[in-house]
Amino acid sequence: MKNIYLDNAATTPILPEVISLITSSMETVYGNPSSTHQIGRKAKSLVETARKNIAKHFNAASNEIFFTAGGSEADNLILRNAVVNLGVKVIISSKIEHHAVLHTIESLEKEFSIKVLWVDLNEKGGINYAHLEQLLQNENEKVLVSLMYINNEIGNILNVKKVSEMCEANNALFHSDSVQTIGHFKFDITETPIDFFVASAHKFHGPKGVGFAYIKKGFGIAPILHGGEQEKGARAGTENVHSILGMEKALEIAYANLEEEARYIKELKRYFIDILKANFNNIVFNGFSEDENKSSYIILNVRFPKEYSMLLFNLDLKGISVSGGSACQSGSNKGSHVLNTILNEELAKHTSVRFSFNKYNTTEEIDEVVTVLKGLVV
């Protein structure tokens, strides 16, 4: 049985070039970057070169990039730092953020009694920008806006430039969970004055367990991990050297081939949408995931006209890997908090499947998925 992997919003296969680099670096770059001898200095030099090369992709300074164990840690570092160290008293966010943001905000609300405001969403999960503007204008305290660049379940793209300008005009800070963006879309922080964003290497064919936080120059940082002065005092712990180098390589490859690969995946997604519509009645695409201009080209969230409680299980038996929501919530029986927020109670009960693509997927695989679905969705 051939496996068909369509869960790339959860994680992506590591590129062979990245595996090769990680393997060789584990053999040859074994020094601790904090050591002062030449073997340690070699490791330190490579880490700092990786930092500079990663920063260049965003027109950022290398001292604005802080390596972490992934996007969730980076979100925690930024949000907690905003409250503890930067004087934020109000956080404006949405109820369809990743749990790395939502749960952190909930924790900060309990611990520091900060004020949390939720921006209105439309039926597609789109941000009501007029309401966001109103919330910003009505606050006199220090505000942080935290809205994800691309929603990991329904693929909606935030107008980050617009939100950045709104925050700047209202003296608010702006943080965006950009895990689904980095490696798939380019953006320049000199054109989009965002204060904080995060990335995770395994979303763009790099290794798991490594990512970074972008923190605009000038903001002091209070660490959430204590014990050492690594990452300019922002994060204690010996750097994950081989994974950082793997992340650097994966990002380099992603951006070198971005336009060509994005074009291919967009065509694949459009093909899938067309063939689904041709073979199934009354299917709906959640959020803006059908809209090429308003959603990520790697995510398609499909809602079937009724509940098929065993659909994901049966697809897995056929070797087809997909998700019903965020894989980060696997094992939860509460369903998708994103779909539960934007859909009414009846529609939220219908089975939704998130298909997400990479450059290795083919139209032949899409055809096979549709053939299997026709035998399961009756």
pLDDT cut 90: percent of the chain above it: 92
Residue 196 is inside which H or E element, if any? strand 196-200
Least confident of 119-133, 172-186, 227-241: 227-241
d(CA 95, CA 120): 9
- Structural element, H or E, at residue 68: strand 65-68
Q: What pLDDT shows up at residue 2? A: 86
Across the range 96-106, mean pLDDT stands at 98
pLDDT at 335: 84
Across residues 108-137, what is the average pLDDT?
Answer: 97
Q: Is there a catalytic annotation at residue 328?
A: yes
Please state, in angstroms and rounded to a whole number, the distance separating the CA atoms of residues 341 and 343.
6
Q: Which long-range contacts (CB under 8 A, 24 or more apart) does 238-241 make?
A: 238/32, 238/33, 238/34, 239/33, 239/43, 239/47, 239/67, 240/67, 240/69, 240/209, 240/210, 241/25, 241/29, 241/33, 241/43, 241/46, 241/47
Q: What is the pLDDT of residue 56?
A: 98
Q: Write down the domain spans for the chain.
A: 4-12+258-376, 16-256
Provide the angle, in degrees to the nearest 10, between the axes of the packed helices 160-169 and 129-137: 20
**Residue 220: which pLDDT band, with cuts at 50, 70 and 90?**
confident
Mean pLDDT of 334-363: 95
Residue 304 clears pLDDT 70, i.e. is over it: yes
The CATH number fitting domain 16-256, selected from 3.30.70.260, 3.90.120.10, 3.40.640.10, 3.90.230.10:
3.40.640.10
Dist CA 302 CA 325 (whole Å)? 11
Q: What type of residue sits at position 13?
A: P
CB 353 within 8 A of CB 322: yes
Angle between helices 71-84 and 99-112 in degrees, nearest 10: 30
Tens digit of each residue's pLDDT (9 = 90 or more) over 8-52: 999 999 999 999 999 999 999 999 999 999 999 999 999 999 999
The answer to whether 4-12+258-376 and 16-256 have equal CATH topology is: no
Which residues fall within 8 angstroms of residue 330, CB to CB, at 6 or more apart?
A: none
96-100, 233-237, 362-366: which has the minimum mean pLDDT? 233-237
Helix (H, G, I), strand (E, B) or coil at 173: strand
Q: Can you give the pLDDT at residue 85?
A: 95
Mean pLDDT across 168-173: 97
Task: Say if residue 331's pLDDT is above 70.
Answer: no
Residues pairing with 215 in the sheet: 196
How do residues 246-289 score in pLDDT, each as one tens digit?
999 999 999 999 999 999 999 999 999 999 999 999 999 999 99
- Cα angle 211, 15, 61 (rounded to 5 degrees) comes to 35
pLDDT at 101 over 60: yes
Rounded CA-CA distance 65/48 in Å is: 10
Would you state the pLDDT for residue 334?
72
pLDDT value of residue 273 = 98
Report if pTM > 0.85.
yes
Mean predicted lDDT score pLDDT of the chain:
95
CA-based nearest residue to 69, from 290, 235, 269, 257: 235
**Cα–Cα distance measured from residue 251 to residue 47, given in angstroms and rounded to the nearest whole number:** 15
Q: Which of 249, 233, 224, 177 is nearest to 63 (CA)?
A: 233
Q: How many angstroms separate the CA atoms of 216 and 222, rounded?
A: 14
The span from the CA of 102 to the CA of 140, in Å, is 23
Q: Which of 116, 328, 347, 370 is catalytic?
A: 328
C-alpha to C-alpha distance for 225 and 78, rounded to whole angstroms:
13
Q: Which of 185-194, 200-209, 317-326 has the lowest mean pLDDT?
A: 317-326
Q: How confident is the model at residue 325 (pLDDT cuts 50, 70, 90)?
A: low
| pLDDT at residue 326 tops 80 | no
Give the least confident one: 15-29, 184-198, 320-334. Answer: 320-334
Q: Does domain 4-12+258-376 have CATH number 3.90.1150.10?
A: yes
Alpha carbon 197 to its chain centroid, in Å, reads 10
Grade residue 378 by pLDDT with cuts at 50, 70 and 90. Answer: confident
